[in-house]
Amino acid sequence: EFLDFVNKNMKPIEKQMSYYQCAIMEVETKFKVLNEQYSLEYDRNPIEDIKSRVKSMESLIKKIRKKDIPLTLSSIEENIHDIAGVRVICSFPDDIYMLADCLLSQDDITLLEKKDYIKNPKPGGYRSLHLIVSVPIFLQDGKRNMTVEVQLRTIAMDFWASLEHKLRYKKDIPADKAKYLEDEMLACAQISAGLDMRMQNVRDVIAENAKPDEQSLLLKDLS
Ligand code: 0O2
């Protein structure tokens, strides 16, 4: 059924996917501009890395089936919000909220949904700030608003999530070991959260004790 849908709509699907790619470019640029400005003004980069992707067809099909979404381009666009995904890896937890606020205050960005898995981690231990936003792309024949999922994480949050994602697919685990593994992953998530807090505190202490000329830079950094 899906193959039939794809075959009949090849051109519009390709076009839609390229629009998602354009939306990713817009959002990535916004973060790169913020990083550049921060680096000039405060001599520090709040962004360690940006990883973006348009959802693969395989993963898209899985989600359409799981959510039982009608097979039309508009209902897929309406119901699946992570076809365009931008993952921003930050240095410190504070940077996540600073960057999210900066992005959301831009007048061409509309917040559709916010999930704060840092303040409220998932039961398994997953932490990240998720923003579903709408961003315009400007085409030859006008403007189109596209939905993008932005995931903001620290290096420690990304380290945990990347490994957990790999381990999740190892399904042939005996039941008696599964509970132990779940507990271990949760414990690792808690250690990673503790590490984030301690590293941020180290930065704060350095800022408080910096020489006056450095201090003005670093204190601005904390405000
Ligand atoms: P992939 O391969 O990352 O693209 P949704 O299904 O998105 O409509 P949900 O589940 O409420 O609704 O979305 P949520 O919670 O915002 O999470 C979506 C994405 O967050 C996932 O994408 C992951 O990237 C990430 N994520 C959420 N929970 C976990 C977790 O426990 N571990 C890891 N490693 N990542 C997580 P996808 O679609 O699963 O896949």
Please report, in tens digits, the pLDDT of each residue of the chain (223 residues total): 777 888 888 888 899 999 999 999 999 999 999 999 998 888 889 999 999 999 998 899 899 999 999 888 899 999 999 999 999 999 999 999 999 999 999 999 999 999 999 999 999 999 999 999 999 999 999 999 999 999 999 999 999 999 999 888 777 778 888 888 889 999 999 999 999 999 999 999 988 887 766 655 655 556 5
Q: Domains of the chain: which residue ranges?
A: 2-222
Q: How far apart are the first and last CA of the chain?
A: 54
**Which residue in 4, 151, 2 sits closest to 63, CA to CA?**
2
Pairing mode, if any, of strands 110-116 and 129-139? antiparallel
Cα of 150 to ligand 1 centre, how many Å?
11
Q: Is the CB of 165 under 6 A from ligand 1?
A: yes
pLDDT recorded at residue 216? 57
Residue 151, Ramachandran bin (φ over 0: left; ψ between -120 and 50: alpha; else beta): beta
Q: Could you tell which of 126, 166, 185 is best to mutate to test the pocket of ligand 1, judged by most ligand atoms within 8 Å of the CB? A: 126
* Cβ contact 85:151 at 8 Å: yes
Residue position matching structure tokens 């009608």: 70
Sheet holding 110-116, edge to edge: 47-54, 84-90, 142-154, 129-139, 110-116
What DSSP designation does 68 have?
Answer: T
Residues annotated as catalytic (active site), given as ranges:
149
ipTM of this complex prediction, to 2 decimal places: 0.92
- C-alpha 68/C-alpha 50 separation (Å) is 31
Q: How far apart are CA 32 and CA 12, in angstroms?
A: 30
Q: Model pTM?
A: 0.91
The alpha carbon of 7 and the centre of ligand 1 are apart by a number of angstroms equal to 28
CATH number for the domain running over 2-222:
3.30.460.10
Q: Which of 82, 118, 130 to mutate to test the pocket of ligand 1 (most atoms within 8 A of CB)?
A: 82
Which residues face 89 on adjacent strands? Answer: 49, 153
Does ligand 1 lie within 6 Å of residue 48's CB atom? no
- Ligand 1 pocket, residue 161 CB under 6 Å: yes
62 lines ligand 1 (CB under 6 A): no
Three-state DSSP state, 67? helix
Closest C-alpha to 68, from 6, 13, 2: 2
Q: DSSP H helical segments within 52-174, as ranges?
A: 57-67, 73-79, 93-104, 155-168
Gap between the Cα atoms of 87 and 129, Å rounded: 10
Q: What is the whole-number distance in angstroms between the Cα of residue 139 and the centre of ligand 1?
A: 30
Nearest CA owner, ligand 1 atom 26: 126
User: Ligand 1 in contact with 126 (CB < 6 A)?
Assistant: yes
- The finding on whether 127 has its CB within 6 A of some atom of ligand 1 is no
In angstroms, the CA 159 to CA 152 distance is 13
Helix, strand, or coil here: 56? coil
